[in-house]
Amino acid sequence: MIPPRWINEIDELSRGLPVLLLEGKDDILFFQHFLNQHTPTWRLRLHIAAANSKMQVIQCVTTHRPHWLGIVDSDEWSPEDVLSATQGSPRLKLLPRFCSESYFCHPDELWATLPPLQRARVKDSTTFAQPIWDKLPDWVAHGALWRVLRRLYQAAKLPEELERAPITDEGRIRAVLQAWHEQLSPDTVLNDYHTELARARSLSRDEQITRYIHGKKFFNQVVVQYLDQTFAGKGADDWLQKFYNIPLMPPEDLHALLNWIISLV
């Protein structure tokens, strides 16, 4: 199979170094930052590039360049989804959290990034954290509905039976369409939502904020707005740049992934 042009372009830019393929440019900044703390000489051993989509990372590492490394966001994937994606290549891994922004959502970890002058504007870490924790229940509910709708979207595509071969029996056509319609009924969606929400609420608060809620949306709509209001920031890019200028060691759940990367290059 002939690889897409962008893969050949990465080959040229890598100049013979092993390649770590990520989803997007923001992910490149994220891994560059934490690799700088983990293994300062990593640039001599590794080239990092973006494929611009999760599925392109997976396809590249499992088909076109099986010797490359690939890391994709966990997002809403179930254990079955994870197994299906990663069993095609031992060099494909999932980020331990929902997405890279999820590493800047937990109040305790955010507090550790604040310089003394900013901490002094807030009474203590508990006072700083509470407005973020207050928003979490609504975002857990959002995460539950988002997962249900994503699964439904994948399952409720135009029925394959009607695409596979000609069907002229209108009674059969009606039956297939009726079954498809029932997947989209409000009652079905709400029942699935209630089940998913109950499961989400059974998770610990730490699991909810790092692995369950939509990390990118929560970061942009909750964390960034709160930080801007509290410390007169200038938006998501401004805060990420500040975080990346702080030489913090990688969180524990990221450390094992960084070890895996370095061990293979």
Beta-carbon contacts of residue 199 (< 8 Å; ≥ 6 apart): 144
Q: What is the pTM (predicted TM-score) of this model?
A: 0.87
Q: What pLDDT is stored for residue 78 in this prediction?
A: 74
Here the tokens at position 170 are 């209108």
pLDDT of 259 over the 80 cut? yes
Express each pLDDT in 65-86 by its tens digit.
999 999 999 888 776 777 777 7
Q: What is the mean pLDDT of residues 30-59?
A: 95
Q: What is the pLDDT of residues 212-243, one digit of tens each?
A: 999 999 999 999 999 999 998 889 999 999 99
Chain mean pLDDT for the chain = 90
Of 21-25, 38-42, 49-53, 73-77, which gets the smallest average pLDDT? Answer: 73-77
- 200-214, pLDDT tens digit by residue? 999 999 999 999 999
Average of pLDDT values for 153-174? 75
Q: What is the greatest pairwise CA distance in the chain?
A: 74
For residue 263, the model assigns a pLDDT of 94
Domain formed by 17-104+254-263, architecture: 3-Layer(aba) Sandwich (3.40)
> What is the reported pLDDT for 179?
79
- Place 132 in a pLDDT band, splitting at 50, 70 and 90: very high
Domain limits, the chain: 17-104+254-263, 107-243
The predicted structure's pLDDT at residue 166: 75
